[in-house]
């Protein structure tokens, strides 16, 4: 169960790197969290493919000193995974996974996006603890089934339960994650965007 939880969490985490001399990008929205935002992916592993759907199913209103929290629901065959996320001018945060709250919000992308940035985040969920290292890379063109995007890569690396995990994510402005490559203890998984549907900002 613990391994399954961390495996699923790693697949959905974000990461990758860029050159330190690059200047920060202008204001970006690398993970739009309006209600109804929907991403349809194809995931491949060892020559086998599956379809995955992610959708922002709920957004709680912002309160004084508290950001609006979006619930991201992911469906993989018969399995459903939920995450609570938020975003502001400083970062994109993950707050909870499958109803289990992190002790502190996890910054999976930091703003302004700057190639070559690095940071570390402590992950504490129930009795599980780990430290993740994030690195950003220079923007590049990524071609997937949904189209061509200028994407901003982020790499997450961590060790947990004797396993090395890395997750390289490519994010596009106004779209979200368009591609992901995960290596979970030698198990390689690739996920690419097939279709993106915008939500409603006024929901």
How far the first Cα of the chain sits from its last, in Å, is 36
Between vectors from CA 130 to CA 128 and to CA 133, what angle results, nearest 5°? 155
Q: Measure the CA–CA gap between 134 and 47, rounded to whole angstroms.
A: 28
Q: Name the residue among 55, 84, 50 with its Cα closest to residue 67.
A: 84
Strand-pairing partners, residue 55, are 38, 73
Q: Measure the CA–CA gap between 46 and 151, rounded to whole angstroms.
A: 25
pLDDT band at 163 (very low <50, low <70, confident <90, very high): confident
Lowest mean pLDDT: which of 14-23, 43-52, 123-132, 164-173?
Answer: 14-23
Q: Measure the CA–CA gap between 157 and 164, rounded to whole angstroms.
A: 7
Task: State the pLDDT at residue 64.
Answer: 81
Please answer whether residues 29 and 173 qualify as being in contact, where contact means their C-beta atoms are separated by less than 8 angstroms.
Answer: yes
pLDDT tens sequence across 131-152: 999 999 999 999 999 999 999 9
Domains assigned to the chain: 2-197 (2.40.360)
Q: Measure the CA–CA gap between 83 and 72, rounded to whole angstroms.
A: 5
Q: Which residue has the higher pLDDT, 114 or 125?
A: 114
Report the Cα 70 to chain-centroid distance in Å.
Answer: 13
Task: State the pLDDT at residue 72.
Answer: 97
**pTM, entire model:** 0.85
Tell me: pLDDT of 3 over 70: no
pLDDT tens sequence across 80-110: 999 999 999 999 999 999 989 999 999 999 9
pLDDT band at 125 (very low <50, low <70, confident <90, very high): confident
């Amino acid at each position: 169960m613990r391994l399954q939880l961390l495996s699923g969490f790693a697949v959905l985490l974000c990461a990758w790197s860029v050159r330190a001399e690059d200047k920060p990008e202008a204001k970006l929205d690398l993970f739009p969290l309006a209600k109804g935002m929907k991403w349809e992916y194809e995931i491949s592993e060892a020559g086998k493919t599956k379809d995955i759907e992610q959708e922002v199913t709920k957004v709680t209103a912002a309160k004084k000193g508290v950001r609006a929290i979006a619930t991201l629901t992911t469906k993989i065959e018969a399995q459903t995974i939920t995450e609570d996320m938020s975003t502001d001018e400083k970062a994109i945060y993950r707050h909870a996974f499958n109803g289990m709250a992190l002790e502190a919000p996890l910054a999976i992308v930091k703003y302004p996006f700057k190639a070559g940035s690095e940071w570390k985040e402590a992950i504490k969920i129930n009795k599980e603890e780990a430290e993740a290292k994030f690195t950003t890379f220079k923007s590049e063109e990524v071609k997937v089934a949904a189209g061509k995007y200028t994407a901003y890569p982020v790499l997450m690396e961590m060790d947990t339960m004797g396993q090395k995990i890395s997750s390289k994510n490519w994010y596009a402005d106004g779209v979200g994650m368009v591609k992901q490559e995960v290596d979970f203890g030698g198990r390689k998984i690739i996920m690419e965007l097939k279709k993106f549907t915008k939500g409603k900002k006024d929901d």
